[in-house]
Amino acid sequence: MLVDVHAHLMLEGHEGQLYSLADMFRGSGREKLAQFVEYFRRAGIDRVILCSDPDLFIPKNDGGDPAGSLKRANDTVAEACARYPDLFAGSVMVNPLALDASLREIEERLEKQGFVGVGEICQYRTGHGTDTEGMREILRAAARLDVPVNIHSSLPTHTQELATLMRAVPEATVIMAHIGGSNNWRNGIKLAEEFPELYVDLSGITVQYAGTFEAALARISHERLLFGVDFPLIQPESMTGPFFAARMPEASRRAIAYENALRIYKRLVPAGAHCAM
Ligand SMILES: [Zn+2]
């Protein structure tokens, strides 16, 4: 079994980016979603922690209604999860700049709609710090409901502020995305060494650089690493390739592939009844 802890429901827009959604998904909304699903199926991914496109609720796109756009963003994820319940489990998108709405979203999506976590919090898109009073409130809310929070990291300021954030809310289960980032993974690994309770997701382009995955494996316990892709920014096979090729004990591979995810995402139901790789 393989659980991908990091995916964004992005089916259109984002023209001019390094990836090209327009060349991946075509047709009606439903057809695009089916094509989105096919990428996971063909890569052998069984369960996906799915969050929305963060650009739906950034200030330039929210139409002056951050709470409304945040709700619409999470609605799109709820609909995808309802349509593909065996594959997708929702993670609540939040925006600390719309804190009351974010806390309401966390409560309602988790308790009423079966969402399983919070994040990815994309502070680099929404335009706030990694450690702010709003971020601390969100982490406290997630801790009360016993769900993990995935936080984007790609800059030294992100990893520095993650440290103060975790010290302020030690009861929260935090996942640092992208091993800290493609230009910041050394700081990410250092942070993971400093905070033995921090979880680390392998998603994004960091693992595409030779030796980075090996460095993470050597210095972070396999019990704290989580498989992730960051689809549709990243092709799933470009992550499953290095992950299944890397030399490691099968017990470590199982932990990273699904055991750790099932342990910390307590509301996540495993795919089918089998847990064989
Ligand atoms: Zn990210």
60 C-alpha vs ligand 1 centroid, how far in Å? 19
Distance 29 CA to ligand 1 centre (A): 24
How far does residue 119's CA lie from ligand 1's centre (Å)? Answer: 10
17 CA distance to ligand 1 middle (Å): 14
> Strands 174-176, 149-151: parallel, antiparallel or unpaired by DSSP?
parallel
- Kind of pairing between the strands at 3-9 and 199-201: unpaired
Rounded distance from Cα 273 to ligand 1 centre (Å): 31
What are the chain's domains? 3-264 (3.20.20.140)
Collapse the DSSP code of 25 into the 3-class scheme (helix H, G, I; strand E, B; otherwise coil) and give the result.
coil
Residue 112 Cα, ligand 1 centroid: separation in angstroms? 26
Cα(84) to centroid(ligand 1), Å: 23
**Ligand 1: centre distance to CA 274 (Å):** 30
> Alpha-carbon dihedral of residues 264, 266, 269, 274, nearest 10 degrees?
60
Cα(126) to centroid(ligand 1), Å:
12
Ligand 1 mean position, distance from CA 270 (Å): 24
CA distance 7 to 231: 5
Give, for all 277 residues of the chain, the pLDDT tens digit. Answer: 999 999 999 999 999 999 999 999 999 999 999 999 999 999 999 999 999 999 998 888 888 888 999 999 999 999 999 999 999 999 999 999 999 999 999 999 999 999 999 999 999 999 999 999 999 999 999 999 999 999 999 999 999 999 999 999 999 999 999 999 999 999 999 999 999 999 999 999 999 999 999 999 999 999 999 999 999 999 999 999 999 999 999 999 999 999 999 999 999 987 654 434 4
Question: Would you say the pTM of this structure is higher than 0.75?
Answer: yes
Compute the distance between CA of residue 219 and CA of residue 68 in angstroms, rounded to an integer: 42
101: CA distance to ligand 1 center in Å?
Answer: 22
- Find the 230 Cα to ligand 1 centroid distance in Å: 7
Distance 178 CA to ligand 1 centre (A): 7
Please classify residue 251 by burial: count the beta carbons closer than 10 Å to its beta carbon, then call 0-12 exposed, 13-18 middle and 19+ buried: exposed
Query: How many angstroms is it from 154 CA to the middle of ligand 1?
Result: 8
For residue 203, report the distance from its CA to the centre of ligand 1, in Å. 8
